[in-house]
Amino acid sequence: MVNDSKISILVIDDNKSFNEDISNKLKEYKFVVKQIFKEQDVLKSIEKIHNNIDLILLNIDFDDHTPMKIFNFISKHTMSKVILLSSEDIGEKREEYFAQGILDYHLITKKVDRIVQDIADTMYSLLENKKETILIIDKSETVCTILKKLLTTRNYNVLTATNTKEGLEILKNVDLSLLILDMEMSDVNALDLLEGLRDMYLLDNFTVLGLSQNKSPSIVRDTLKSGAKDFLLKPFLYEGFLLKVEILVHSARSKKINQKQKQEIENNLKISKELLDSSIGAMFIFHNNICTKCNNEAVDLLGYKTKEAILNKHIFDIFSDVSEKHKNFLIDDSVEHYFEDTIKGKDSNIYNVQIKEKNISIDNKIVKIISVIDITQVKRDEKIISQQTKMASMGEMIGNIAHQWRQPLNAISVAAGGIKLNYEFDMEDREETIRELDNIIENTKFLSSTIESFQNFLKVSKVTSNFNLKSTCKKTLDVINANLKLHNIIIIEEYRSESLVNGVENELMQVFLNIINNAADILKTLPIPEMKKYIKISIIEKNDIVNISFHDSGNGIQNDIIDKIFEPYFTTKHQSQGTGLGLYMSHQIIKKMKGSIRVSNESFTYNNHQYFGAKFTISLPIHNTSVNSNEGSVK
């Protein structure tokens, strides 16, 4: 029986102490254990449990007839396997019991732990034996029947044949673990058969146990030299036969597992090689910083003709152009690294690349795998996109300058005209002239300050620094306020943090300006002129992250395009008004600052009225935190 889940065991022993001891040990192996202590309860209990027991442990320390009576009763009424226990060696009776189909025999004078371990091994072997097939080829029908009964008790799948032709037909169609072969077959010379099987490499798939009544030493030698793994002289002890079968089947099983593992390794190596060569990037494998493998992409990237030209090169011969910091990354075996740098090809061309380095341990040795992706074209494209974005930004700046300067230039013109008119008509008033000149000076200072603001915004400096997010936001508003006021757009400022972030400040100003300009463009097109036009700017700190949000009242972004707005060249404006690069570059800048930007359509409340529109939220890591503020204002 022996099922694949819980193994149930019945212990029959009138020695209560030993019965309890062995039962408790069996339970440690998660076996389900039942016990019988009295001889008179045995037959009744066995009849009751019927086929619900996988194994019966039977102590045969009764009188001469009782053990066999109980054993015969078990064989007749159950499918349970049986292992015998005894306090003394039962001598020749052991063979009788093995002939009847017992699994094993143990002296209880041994340590209980050892007995239980052997029992567990036997039961687990029964589960494995279900997968093994044994073929018996013997000219004697009786021998085939006896051996099949013995082996079937141990859960082997057993096939028999009384002639070689029948046996060979079975061999063709069955995955064998063991062939038990009568070396004195009448229809074919068994030695010739063995040699034929060996020549066809079939003996690689199973083992062979030779049987013979011939006592000549030469038959043993010839059988083994022809490919058999073991030999038994008839007649033989069943216990010894079963032990040999167990060893040979285990050997065949191990061999199959090894062959399967070997095949899996070969397949994996083949797959790895294919993966290596089909990778979209260059791949290098290093042992002790010496290149031992690479793929075709690596050959193409570096400008060589063959892989052999790269193999055996030191890691710094290949990555000679990377920075000193990144060289240290490459020889660091403790962690993984991912970075961008340059690599020099055989032709001295310099390529922008992304490099990912991973270390794995094989046989206690570090193997370094480095993948390299050529991003030279990507960098060129980014440069073009960046230039296009800057040109678009400069166009917007010119518009903002015009809005910022229109009123003060008009005031200067009016003041200067007034002074000239008074002078021409000899109506000069000293105090009024001084007042008009002060007005001209004040407006000139304003113009000078706006020039400085625009210069700061348009700086090309890429030096990173720590800067105040609130201050950056206010600088951006200084640049664009005149344009916003012209279209009656009101800025609601809600700053609840004085956090510092790290990056290039004028790049972040470009992001803010882009988002505010987009919001302003939407608000300018609202269908009802009297509708309130708000852009709410909030800075809120949470844990080690600061969130700055821009929330407009422009009715939101259409659901079918909201997921596309950070893609390059995506725009809903006319091509004369937008390039579709602003939000893409904004996304790239925020990503470079190790932050994130997201958009959603949400409502907000202001002055007891609810407004709905797009909300852009930028999350950045805090570099340093000053005193929190609860400032709130409206412009």
Q: How far apart are CA 334 and CA 209, in angstroms?
A: 53
Q: What is the pLDDT of residue 306?
A: 92
Q: 217-258, pLDDT tens digit by residue?
A: 899 999 999 999 999 999 999 989 999 999 999 988 888 888
- For residue 357, give the nearest of 268, 283, 292 by alpha carbon: 283
Neighbours of 369 (CB within 10 A): 16
Alpha helices in 458-599 (DSSP H): 469-486, 505-524, 582-592
Q: What CATH fold (topology level) applies to the domain 381-634? A: Heat Shock Protein 90 (3.30.565)
Q: Which CATH superfamily is domain 286-369 in?
A: PAS domain (3.30.450.20)
Q: How far apart are CA 538 and CA 548, in angstroms?
A: 5
Which residues of the chain are under the pLDDT cut of 50?
1, 3-4, 574-580, 625-635
- Reply yes or no: is the peptide bond before residue 621 cis, omega within 30 of 0: no
Q: Which CATH superfamily is domain 8-127 in?
A: Response regulator (3.40.50.2300)
For 130-260, CATH number out of 1.10.3210.10, 3.30.1280.10, 3.40.50.2300, 3.40.50.300 equals: 3.40.50.2300
The domains spanning 130-260 and 381-634 adopt the same CATH topology = no
Q: 58-115, pLDDT tens digit by residue?
A: 888 866 667 777 877 887 778 888 999 988 887 878 888 888 888 898 998 889 999 9
Q: What is the pLDDT of residue 402?
A: 61
Q: What is the pLDDT of residue 624?
A: 65
The residues spanned by each domain of the chain are: 8-127, 130-260, 286-369, 381-634
CB proximity list for 221: less than 8 A, separation 6 or greater: none
